């Protein structure tokens, strides 16, 4: 068994897959270096240095077989943080090489392809919920800020939606679970990782809210309370449409 250690990036993973075939490693296991734990002394190790050229060749092969949609599905698997993501993506590439004229992702008789279908469905659902349930608060510096805590690492997958929808204002979305975020400055979106002393402030924004935001939240909460009809309350349907794990980020639920 040869274990390939890569830097955890998608490009690094594509490079690792290229080197599996370049060096004819078999059997093989690919794992992000940060997740690696010492295995048997009989296991060989190969350190992968990310190479954009090699990564592009693998992506080109995937796209030629599966199209842009297939590449998007494998990206979803990568961002899902599934413990088997490297094996599933390698399995897909291997199937593409063996069946160049077939969209192997549609072969649901294959256990790996079925797992990929389940993962991408879950990812798509989480992305949709982020589109619907992200709530921005106006801060004192007039940047609109939102904190999220999704089950999967979907932040890179929702950038385009928010960039297109809120092009005329500065905004930030911060993932509390993974401790990084994205910031839009009216022209570009950038990733950021706050210093440790700032993370607590991002978790609790009460002291840095704009005065307009404070008044707006009070008004909205009062409206929500006044228009609520207790006799028509259907908690089961409400939770089905809006899972409780999102409630703590909604103004009307504060």
Q: Is the pLDDT of residue 147 over 90?
A: yes
Q: How confident is the model at residue 8 (pLDDT cuts 50, 70, 90)?
A: very high
If you write DSSP's letter for every residue of 37-79 in order, what string do you get? ----TT-EEEEPPP-HHHHHHHHHHHHHHHHHHHHHHHHHHHH
pLDDT category at 198 given cuts 50, 70, 90 is: confident
pLDDT at 254 over 70: no
Give the mean pLDDT of the chain.
Answer: 91
* Confidence (pTM): 0.86
Check residue 232 and give its pLDDT. 81
30 in Cβ contact with 86 (< 8 Å): yes
All structural domains of the chain with their residue ranges: 2-124, 134-253
User: Could you tell me if 128 and 237 are in contact, meaning their C-beta atoms sit under 8 angstroms apart?
Assistant: no
Measured distance CA(184)–CA(165) in Å, rounded: 12
DSSP designation for 223? H
- As a whole-number percent, the residues of the chain with pLDDT over 70 amount to 98
pLDDT band at 41, cuts 50/70/90?
low
Query: Do residues 180 and 150 make contact, with C-beta atoms less than 8 angstroms apart?
Result: no
Residue in this structure with the two tokens 């009062």, named with its chain if needed: 222
Average pLDDT for 137-150: 94
pLDDT at 188 over 60: yes
pLDDT of residue 240: 78
Residue ranges of the alpha helices (H) in the chain? 10-22, 52-79, 85-98, 111-133, 159-165, 196-203, 211-227, 235-241
**Greatest Cα-to-Cα distance within the chain, rounded to the nearest angstrom:** 69
Rounded CA-CA distance 149/163 in Å is 19
Instruction: Using the predicted structure, report yes or no on whether residue 238 has a pLDDT greater than 80.
Output: no
Nearest residue to 251 via CA among 209, 221, 213, 212? 221
For 98, left (φ over 0), alpha (ψ -120 to 50), or beta? Answer: alpha
- Measured CA to CA, the distance from residue 105 to residue 238 in angstroms comes to 35
204 has pLDDT over 80: yes
Distances (CA, A) of 121 to 83, 95, 125, 154, 234: 17, 21, 6, 13, 27
105 has pLDDT over 80? yes
């Amino acid at each position: 068994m040869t274990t390939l250690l890569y830097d955890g990036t998608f490009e690094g993973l594509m490079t690792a897959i290229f080197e599996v075939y370049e060096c004819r490693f078999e059997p093989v296991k690919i794992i992000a270096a940060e997740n690696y734990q010492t295995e048997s002394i009989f296991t060989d190790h190969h350190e992968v240095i990310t190479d954009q050229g090699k990564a592009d060749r693998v992506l080109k092969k995937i796209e030629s077989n599966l199209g842009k949609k297939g590449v998007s599905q494998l990206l979803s698997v990568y961002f899902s943080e599934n413990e088997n993501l490297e094996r599933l993506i390698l399995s897909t590439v291997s199937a593409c090489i063996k069946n160049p004229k077939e969209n192997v992702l549609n072969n649901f008789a294959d256990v790996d392809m079925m797992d990929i279908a389940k993962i991408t469905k879950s990812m798509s659902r989480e992305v949709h919920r982020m589109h619907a349930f992200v709530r921005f608060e106006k801060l004192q510096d007039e940047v609109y800020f939102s904190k999220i805590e999704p089950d999967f690492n979907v932040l890179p997958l929702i950038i385009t939606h928010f960039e297109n929808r809120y092009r005329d204002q500065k905004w930030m979305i911060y993932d509390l679970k993974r401790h990084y975020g994205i910031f839009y400055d009216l022209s570009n979106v950038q990733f950021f990782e706050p210093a440790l002393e700032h993370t607590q402030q991002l978790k609790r924004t009460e002291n840095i809210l704009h005065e307009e935001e404070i008044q707006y939240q009070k008004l909205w909460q009062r409206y929500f309370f006044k228009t609520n009809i207790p006799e028509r309350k259907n908690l089961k349907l409400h939770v089905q449409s809006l899972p409780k794990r999102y409630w703590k980020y909604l103004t009307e639920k504060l």
